[in-house]
């Protein structure tokens, strides 16, 4: 049995191991870059989805606020007139004004965010 020759082992296997280490390092860097890019794309997609949802909600709240303003003006006009059904009108006015106040508060909180 021949003794273990370190120099011969290094000459035979050293370049192969060096190439293996270089390729492993390169492939790991490539994998990290690919993962970062795919995560960046997914982040942009999520931000875009949130922007679409935010825009939709802002438009919805704006439309609701416009309707509440119109109801409030109608309620003020009805409130000034005397009618036989004033009690029922008063109940409707209270509900409309409460809805208007809630939508105004919602719009203000949306603006802050």
Q: Pull the structure tokens for residue 77.
A: 């006009």
The rounded mean pLDDT for the chain is 81
**What is the DSSP code string of 70-102?**
HHHHHHHHHHHS--TTHHHHHHHHHHHHHHHHH
Which has more confidence, 8 or 49? 49
- Round the CA-based radius of gyration of the chain to a whole number and report it: 36
State pLDDT tens for residues 37-90. 999 999 999 999 999 999 998 898 888 888 878 777 777 766 666 555 566 667
Q: Which of 13-22, 38-47, 98-107 has the lowest mean pLDDT?
A: 98-107
Domain-by-domain residue ranges, the chain?
50-113
* pTM for this prediction: 0.47
3-state SS of 4-44? Answer: CCHHHHHHHHHHHHHHHHHHHHHHHHHHHHHHHHHHHHHHH
Q: Are 70 and 76 in contact (CB under 8 A)?
A: no
* pLDDT of 112 over the 80 cut: no
């Amino acid at each position: 049995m021949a003794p273990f020759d370190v120099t011969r082992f290094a000459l035979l296997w050293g370049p192969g191991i060096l190439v293996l280490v270089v390729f492993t390092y390169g492939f790991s860097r490539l994998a990290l870059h690919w993962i970062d890019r795919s995560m960046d794309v997914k982040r942009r997609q999520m931000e875009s989805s949130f922007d679409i949802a935010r825009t939709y909600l802002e438009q919805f709240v704006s439309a609701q606020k416009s309707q509440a303003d119109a109801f409030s003006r109608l309620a003020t006009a009805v409130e000034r007139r005397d009618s036989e059904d004033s009690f029922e009108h008063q109940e409707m006015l209270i509900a409309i004004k409460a809805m208007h106040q809630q939508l105004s508060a919602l719009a203000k909180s949306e603006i802050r965010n």
